Chains A and B, each alone.
Chain A
Amino acid sequence: MIKMRGIRKAYNTGRIKVEALKGVDLDLAAGEFISIVGPSGSGKSTLMNIAGCLDVPTAGEYELDGQPIANLSISRLAEIRNKKVGFVFQAFNLLPYATAYENVELPLIFGKVSAKIRRKRVVELLERVGLGERLDHKPQELSGGEMQRVAIARALANEPKLVLADEPTGNLDSKSGKAIIDLFEELWKSGTTILMITHDFNVAKRTNRVIYLKDGLVMKEPLDIARGIKSWKHDKQFDTL
């Protein structure tokens, strides 16, 4: 599903050039559920943005679902994001003025799906995440867990092969966080490939592979879960454990 070779990403912030990724190799097979862990500033989000075609690498090769991403037009990248990738964010990022229904409908509108099919699909998705009764609720009328469910339904709108989640439980209490991870697990079991950034050890534990990122490089890849946890525990920057 994902094939990255020597991915580098540099940002020019004024005079200082920051290199967020310094040559990442990453392979992710279809149907995997992996987590990316690492300290702040290690390049996790940058890696995810590149994986989701929201950003392009400064150097290196990236193939998503067999398609090389280099030199694609802005419009083509938007199409790939729309059809192949679903994003879930820590802060949910729902449109505040739109109902749950409209939020989920958005990617379908961008994907030029007909109104009739949209209707069916949105209701189906919201029922699947357990919000069949909340179609017309706006984000401020929903709990954090419910908002993230709407966001997941939205990410799934165009049946993407890859779901990218950036700390999806970061803004949730442990109970609703667990429910969200349950939902991701369910998705994974039904065949979706999932790549998740997390700070939470208990969350990482439930994925079938953990990738440890530090200073823009993947450490000792492939890492088994046990070694990942071990190196993680030694990292003083983490307070979640």
Chain B
Amino acid sequence: MLGNLSMILRIFLRELKSQKLRMTLTILAIVWGTLSITILLAFGDGLRNQLMISKKGLGDGILLISGGQTEKAYKGLPIGRGIGLRMDVLDYIRQQMPELKAVGGEFITWGQQVSFGSNSFNKKINGVTPEYEYMRSMYPRQGGRFINKLDMDRNRRVVFLGNELADELFGVPGSPACVDPIGKEIFISNVPFTVIGVMQEKQQMGMYSGPDWDAAVMPITTFKTMYTNYRYLNKVVVQLKDVNQSESVKDRLYEELGSKYQFDPTDRRALYIWDVIHGTKVLNNSLIGMEVFFGIIGALTLLVAGVGVANIMYVAVRERTAEIGVKMAMGAKRIHVMTQFILEALMIAGLGGTLGLAVSFGIVKAVNSIPRTSMAMQWLGEPRISMTIALVTISVLAVIGLVSGFFPARKAASVNPVESLRYE
């Protein structure tokens, strides 16, 4: 049926020459459409990956709980009653809700003096439970460790430093004045502490009390003995086994804590629960929405380009009427006549698409070669043209080529050979 591809290719090249301007514009339109689809999808993909990484910086599959104020009267208790979470709530939740993967809590105080030698800063201090290491992605750099249970049980004066705070105190690693922080003694609110670890660099998007890289972290028990006026935990963090159950876990939390603190379990103001999981999902969905939107814009551009292709093919059909007649006299069937024009349309789409994809790969490569030093570049993530994106683009192009070739081809196949031969 195709018979002579080289001949079709030559017709295509001849057509390319004879309709130079129209062909150039149409191919440009296809290049542009391809470019917009692939680039937008590629950047969307990169952005989404980046968001996932950043989200994990705050914590993976966690709910953040803090005390609130009642809004509903309950068992004779008035509204507007403050609900505070004391340290014993941690063991209570652990007992009542064994379905959770982990439970942890923290105190926070700001503006405490942290000093090493002559370097002195006012910083955020956290008192946390050991679960924070994996719940809140506070992993130590090599050579150090996070706060453990023994530190907590023995009220040890040990501290885990956020990486930027460590750099400020001890110098940026690699610089001449830099000192290894591990094992060094620093002062927090004039009390000596031993540095046991420095946090690995991480990307953190969500935060509630400032970034983790700028804080000093000590055992929750040590914190309690040092800052004695802190009675209520600033945050309780629970980690789920199954992220899809965040809604039911939330209900259970209101129920269990409601019975402990005497509030109506339907009173959603008694506790504030920040559902990081849900937030991630919403963000992810809006990103998908964005990608679909951009994809549609690209597809529309391609559609316009498709009209251009069809236009070129219509002109070609008119110019080649005599040729079509001759072929019909030689016994060409509809399919033979149509195949030629559809293939030509596909070739135009293919040429534009190939160019567009090549340019897209070039752009993505160029963007990825820019060092990720600035914040903006970090947010951009790493755009990439995945197999899916390539396939989507190619199928859209194929459809455009087929459709824009089909109608002119049908016109060509309906040429009356007797009429067309009379032209000669």
Contact = CB atoms under 8 A, between A and B. Distances in A.
B331 A97 contact: no
Nearest to A87: B329
Given A82-B331, A93-B322, A93-B421, A110 B10 contact: no
A106 B328 CA distance: 11
B20 interface: no
Given A54-B328, A74-B334, A97-B11, A89 B417 contact: no
B333 to A, nearest CB: 5
A109 B328 contact: no
A38 to B, nearest CB: 17
Count class of interface residues, chain A? 20 to 34
Interface in B306-345: 322-323, 326-334, 336
Contacts of B329: 52, 54, 81, 87, 93
B418 interface: yes
A90 B334 CA distance: 25
B11 A93 contact: no
Nearest to A112: B1
Interface of B: 3-4, 7, 10-11, 14, 322-323, 326-334, 336, 417-418, 421-422, 424
Interface of A: 45-46, 49, 52, 54-55, 74-75, 78-83, 87, 89-91, 93, 95, 97-98, 102, 105-107, 109-111, 154, 158
A102 B421 CA distance: 20
Contact of B4 (A80, A82, A105): A105
A45 B328 CA distance: 16
Given A52-B329, A90-B424, A105-B4, 17 more contacts: A49-B421, A54-B329, A78-B333, A81-B330, A89-B326, A89-B424, A95-B326, A97-B11, A97-B14, A98-B10, A105-B3, A106-B327, A107-B330, A110-B330, A110-B331, A110-B333, A111-B331
Contacts of B323: 95
A54 B332 contact: no
29 contacts: A46-B418, A49-B418, A49-B421, A52-B329, A54-B328, A54-B421, A55-B417, A74-B334, A78-B332, A81-B329, A81-B330, A81-B331, A82-B330, A83-B331, A89-B326, A90-B424, A91-B424, A93-B329, A98-B10, A102-B4, A106-B327, A106-B330, A106-B332, A107-B330, A107-B331, A109-B3, A110-B327, A110-B336, A154-B330
Contacts of B4: 102, 105, 109
Main secondary structure, interface of B, reads: helix
B419 to A, nearest CB: 10
Contacts of A55: 417-418
Contacts of B14: 97
Nearest to B330: A107
B327 A97 contact: no
Contact of B417 (A45, A54, A107, A111): A54
Given A97-B11, A97-B14, A98-B7, A54 B330 contact: no
